Structure 1
């Protein structure tokens, strides 16, 4: 079978003529060509009649235009290849004619003349405008301009398109009148507006769902935090109760040991368990136990606990009262010789707001050694009654009450 194409031995490209082989060699520097019996494909698009010479080219055309139907006319256009080199000096028109005659006659496709004139008035060349109208399927001015924008970097953008002369070209679609064009544009704008409104509504719904989800997560996190805090407080109360129980047991054991020691010193025999606990009522047994008077520290602690319990609805005010009392006690402890720190006017407005108006505030100072003088107008701590141990104990109790968040709660 005679050769119908030239094949590049370096890249495998099929070429229709010697001229195409020369152009390919100039572009790629390939020089290994041979005749081939494999024809160059001639796939015609059934929509716009664009010829495609390979499957890759037809796929690219489909991607750009959406046209998917092609007619294979390879067998009709295949002819033995001529190995004669075109004459030097031949015009481009003669070269195109010679190449075209090898396949079949090619002509410029018909396009909508009115739209063509509009494109030319916009500054586009005749070749570019004709090419855009042809490959956009004569769909109108807007489609042609869009095609030009998308293909402005094509190397053949300013070449007239050619189609086989015997190809039936669909009659160009009539262009819209100005009034129809305005109506069409209004419809497109209205459609775009509705689409934008729907998109905004959808976005707003998504945002609302996200806000609801975040709100639920925050509420759940807050509930878990409150539950953990409640468990922590219960555990702390349980630990304090256990500590109190152990302290009572130690005191009871100490009392029993002291009692046994006293009997030993008096020369009495150890008390028998059956004798030590006859059958008296619990109240009668308690009456024989020695009652230890409360220490100053215990009195202060109870006074502060009572102050907080009486004003538990205003925690900030209670804390401020504790800090004020700590300031009074600290000033006296640091400057025991300064009378101004050992004398407090009860009618002072600042003192009344911070300490005097709270139940237990003045009592705490009295436990520290302050006495009322001048008909109850002043609280005064005489220098000879300044007890540093009592003041240090008062400072410790106040510091514990301020720093312990559960002070007075149990």
Structure 2
């Protein structure tokens, strides 16, 4: 098979042509080349179109630009290599005739921009690497030199001082942009990068906020389900206890009936007629009691009021709990600040009050037990300063606290 490249026998580099082999020999002093059937890699970045000759170059390109997709076009670009040495130019022929090539040409270090060289050395680059980068990028700018170093940092001669013929003056290409234009362009690029970074940070913050909200909702739902399951479990347990108690009473009753029948049998009496033994409606003769009936205390009335409120709205535990907490706030504010009229006066038409307490049967009645009275045609609930009873308020607070923390309050 015809050769597709030239391979350096010392470093293994594949070269496309004799010209590249000659240039490689000048830069590295390598002289052992052989024809190879292995084609030079041609990996083209699908994003920007930059060709890369090796996996190392693609890795460097990915590191610099973030582009990771490359198209292998090695077979398309591969062609049979020509081993013919290019003919020397007319000037070279004249110099050979004149005997000029008989003497070795003097090689010197190329001149580069001293200011740019100082900046590169200050950035940590060696003098040889900085000089080579400035020479091959045409002394355009520090950015161009840094880019050249990144693209050629795997070259074997990267840290060798470049040499050019003494009589050959290399004029650096003129920059395409003026310093002012370059400064403006750099400012635009920095501003664009800053805006892009800000947009990315805002997007990430929105994503984090959405995730926090989602997790919070899941936690609340899980907590609600757990509380509901616990409530159902306690109700089922209470029901089972009542059924067990009922069965125990039935066993005791049966045992008493059996003992009674046994005694009648021993006494020689006939068995008791079930109809006579259990009258349909037993008549209980009311007895007059000469003991005074103790009236219900205000604390007991408060407890009954709260129990009634919970039973009337047993399908909405959250609403009942919020009503209890609101009542606790009203009572606590009056107890802490009895001289503040704003805590002792409540507008009944207030939407918040109606939603939390007023619309629930038993809410206003509880406040009236605490001493509040309706005034101005029933528009306000007002607790006069001279009617503030700390003992009553403390009892109200205790009953509310018990209703809030006791999961069985109003259930049994």
Give the TM-score category using the shorter length.
Answer: 0.3 to 0.5
What's the TM-score, normalizing by structure 2?
Answer: 0.43
Specify the structure having the higher radius of gyration (Cα). 1
